[in-house]
């Protein structure tokens, strides 16, 4: 359905959003619509914001991260020791 079929369309405004990877996307909104604070970047899926110099942080949980990388990132020694102990116990056949 093209704009011609709907007749005169409501005025729209383009708003630029930038993601943490520097991608710019320009969705358009009806002038009376509320523009959201963030917009999902269509190229990488990161959230994008209207402040080019200060884009929203990328999502914390990234699917390609291994469990070990995730544990390391948290820098929790206690958790690390628990996992090591569990791994050692498995090696010894205790679990």
Span interacting with Zn ion, options 4-12, 39-47, 52-60, 70-78, rule CB under 5 A: 39-47
Q: Residues touching Zn ion: how many (CB under 5 A)?
A: 7
Stretch that binds Zn ion, among 13-21, 26-34, 64-72, 75-83 (CB under 5 A): 13-21
CA dihedral 57, 62, 64, 68 (to 10 degrees): 110
- The site for Zn ion (CB under 5 A) is made up of 19, 21, 23, 41, 43-44, 46
């Amino acid at each position: 359905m093209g704009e011609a079929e709907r007749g005169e369309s409501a005025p729209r405004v383009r708003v630029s959003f930038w993601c943490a990877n520097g991608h710019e996307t320009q969705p358009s909104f009806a002038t009376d619509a509320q523009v959201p604070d963030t917009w999902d970047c269509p190229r990488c899926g990161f959230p994008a914001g209207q402040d080019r110099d200060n884009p929203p942080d990328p999502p914390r949980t990234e699917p390609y991260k291994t469990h070990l990388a995730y544990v390391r990132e948290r820098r929790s020694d206690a958790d690390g020791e628990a996992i090591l102990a569990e791994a050692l116990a498995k090696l010894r056949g205790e679990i």
